[in-house]
């Protein structure tokens, strides 16, 4: 079974701080997606990365895909309370395989 590990599991920070969360696998991803999930709702897509070394920015969020396509990171600059939520990474190991999710990083940003 291919595993996708996310760290840290929980993160509590003050408003205005920067943070990075990680997603790692021992296998190569064909593509990787980051989702955010609010309580009582389904995951909502933030970004998809496909190419090794790719960097994508979404306002204060920066997503990076590792050169070897085995890992990814999400960096949030100047976190705000509205960033609070569960951040999930999900990867496909090949084009025909289902999307596999990590357990997520639960972020709490305190005002």
Partner 1 sequence: EPEVTQTPSHQVTQMGQEVILRCVPISNHLYFYWYRQILGQKVEFLVSFYNNEISEKSEIFDDQFSVERPDGSNFTLKIRSTKLEDSAMYFCASSDRDRGLLRSYNSPLHFGNGTRLTVT
Q: Which of 49, 46, 50 is CA-nearest to residue 87? A: 46
Least separation, in Å, of the C-beta of 77 and partner 1?
24
Residues between 82 and 111 that touch partner 1 (CB under 8 A): 88, 90, 92, 94-104
1 token code pair: 């079974």
Q: Which helix H or strand E contains 36, and what residues bound it?
A: strand 31-37
Residues between 23 and 52 that touch partner 1 (CB under 8 A): 30-31, 33, 35, 40-45, 48, 50
**Which residue, 45 or 78, is less far from partner 1 as judged by CB?**
45
> What is the total count of residues that contact partner 1 (CB under 8 A)?
26
Sort strands 61-65 and 71-76 into parallel, antiparallel or unpaired. Answer: antiparallel
């Amino acid at each position: 079974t291919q595993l996708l590990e996310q760290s840290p599991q929980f993160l509590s920070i003050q408003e205005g701080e920067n943070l990075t969360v990680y997603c790692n696998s021992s296998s190569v991803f064909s593509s990787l997606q980051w989702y955010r999930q609010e309580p009582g709702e389904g995951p909502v897509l933030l970004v998809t990365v496909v190419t090794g070394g790719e960097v994508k920015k979404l306002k204060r969020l920066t997503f990076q895909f590792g050169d070897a396509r085995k890992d990814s990171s999400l960096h949030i600059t100047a976190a705000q309370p509205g960033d609070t939520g569960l951040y999930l990474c999900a990867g496909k190991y090949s084009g025909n395989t289902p999307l596999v999710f990590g357990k997520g990083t639960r972020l709490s940003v305190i005002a």
